[in-house]
Amino acid sequence: MSKLLRGLVAAASLILAAGCWDRVEIEDRGFVVGSAIDEGKDGAYELTFQYIVPSAMQGKSAGGGHPSAQSFQNVSSTAATLFKAARKMSNETSRPPYLEHNKIIIVSERLARAGKIQEVLDLFVRDPEMRRAAKLMISVGQAKKLLEIKPPIETLPVQYINSTSENPQKSESIVPATTMGHVHRFLLEEHSFAIPRITQTDSKVSLSGAAVFGSDKKMKGFLDGEETTGKNYFSGTIKAGAVEVEIEGKPLLFEVKRASRTLYANVSDPESPAFTVNVRIEGNVGETYSHVDLLDPQVIRMIENRVSDKIREIMYVVLEKLQKEYKADAIGLSDYLNENHYRVWKKIAADWDRGDHLFSKCKVDVKVHTRLRIIGAIERVQPEGE
């Protein structure tokens, strides 16, 4: 009997002593939904966390509660390391930060240009509480300002930014959201990459554009909206788009419904591989003010050619900028070489977009094939001959 008793005591203390130690009730967590990292004084980091205020959020969705209360609270603290900064925050808030629901990380342009992106990311990748799915963005100007926008539609600034970053379905000038996991990989592979740029205008943000990083982990510069479109065509990440062309002096909008990209490389001379980029586009006439007969195959050919020329033009602009100005292969040519011409790639990898900068010298030929599939539900708006 005493044996049984002893066993029971052992089992109970095992369970009770080992259990519960990491139990924190949901209402005691300080949910951080977004973080912003700026440069502080003397090389220190200024970390800003956006905490949610659950009771205020509930009030907004259920119609009761405190409708006037702010649904979020931003807390900043400065320290030489981010971890220390986060710890200092615990002194100032009643609920310790909990980062599993951290959706976005905004890094200021200055930090990125100074090549500190990997230092900044170290904590976010190392700490098991962090999610690799958090999206990384580069802000023009101060990052923490972006977390203070009061969006009229959404309850949280972060929700606003997060939802906007998922809009590539409708916009061609947003780079697909890049998560911390991706960036971690790029950094490890010493790979050039582009991540979304976020700019603030009054009480709005814009995610159009991209920040380009070279293989030396320093930010080289931004791409504007149209250049980002070109970059997206190169990477094959176009989901939807709109191309404006002129037909008989009046605008016609071509809506891109489907786009695909195929790459081909001629590596007979490993020192300067020649690429052919084939872009296939399908789409409709979205809007037009001209009176051309859209049922005429000749006209359709003409529209298709104009669209192809326009897209090719956009692509060459961004190519030029990446090759000559930023010297960073953010359009995935190196991936193609790595996957398809491994031996050649092994030899030139070290000199691709650093060292000898072979990327800047290589020849890229762009071919765009457009197909106009649907002219719209109507043939014309005005009567013929008007």
Partner 1 sequence: MSESASDDKRGESYVFPDMQENIGHIRRMLGDPADLVIRIISIGGGERSCALAFLSGLSDKAVIDEQIVRQILKAGRFGQEDTGMDISEVLGGLRNETMSVSQVLEVNLWSDVIKAVLYGDTAMFLEGADDVLLIGTQNWKERSIDEPPTEALVRGPREGFTEKIETNIGLIRRGIRDMNLRFVSYTIGRRSRKTLILTYIQGIIHPAIVEEARRRLDTIDIDDAPESGFIEQWIEDSFLSPFPQLLHTERPDKVRAALLQGKAAVMLEGTPFALILPTTFVALIQSPEDYYERWLIGSLIRLLRYLAVIIALFAPAIYIALVSFHQGMIPFKLAFSIAAAREGVPFPAIIEAMVMEGTLELLREAGVRLPKPIGQTIGIVGGLVIGEAAVQAGVVSPIMVIIVAVTAISSFAIPSYSAGIAFRMLRFATMLAAGILGLFGIILTFIMISTHLVRLRSFGMPYSAPFAPMFITDWRDLVIRSPVTFLTKRPEFIQTKNINRANKRGKRS
- The residues that touch partner 1, with contacts defined as CB under 8 A, are 15-16, 18-20, 22-27, 29, 31, 33, 52, 54-55, 57-58, 61, 98, 100-101, 103, 129, 131
Closer by beta carbon to partner 1, 126 or else 343: 126
Query: Closest CB to partner 1 among 18 and 381?
Result: 18
Closest contact distance (angstroms) between CB of 101 and partner 1 is 6
> What Cα–Cα distance (Å) separates residue 226 from each residue in 168, 172, 206, 231, 332?
14, 9, 14, 9, 18
Q: How far is the CB of 58 from partner 1 (least distance, A)?
A: 3
User: 40 or 181: whose CB is closer to partner 1?
Assistant: 181
Q: Which is nearer to partner 1, 102 or 142 (CB)?
A: 102
The least CB distance from residue 195 to partner 1, in Å, is 22
Apex 164 CA angle, 158 and 169, nearest 5:
150
45 vs 122: CA distance, rounded Å? 13
Strands, sheet with 241-247, edge to edge from the N-terminal-most edge strand: 241-247, 250-266, 274-288, 363-374
Burial per residue of 320-347, b for 16 or more beta-carbon CB atoms within 10 angstroms, e otherwise? ebbbeebbbbbbbbbebbbeebeebbee
Rounded to an integer, what distance in angstroms lies between the CA atom of residue 200 and that of residue 18? 49
CB 223 within 8 A of CB 194: yes
Q: Are 285 and 294 in contact (CB under 8 A)?
A: yes
> Measured from the CB of residue 59, what is the shortest distance to partner 1 in angstroms?
8
CB of 28 to partner 1, least distance (A): 9
Distance, CA of 221 to CA of 58 (rounded, Å)? 41
Residue 260 C-beta: closest distance to partner 1, Å: 32
Indicate the residue among 100 and 287 with the shorter CB distance to partner 1. Answer: 100
Tell me the closest approach of the beta carbon of residue 25 to partner 1, in angstroms: 5
Burial profile 161-192: b = 16 or more Cβ within 10 angstroms, e = fewer: bbebbeebeebbbbbbbbbbebbbebbeeebb
Q: Which is nearer to partner 1, 19 or 383 (CB)?
A: 19
* Residue recorded with tokens 């259920």: 62
- In this complex, which beta carbon is closest to partner 1, that of residue 31 or of residue 359? 31
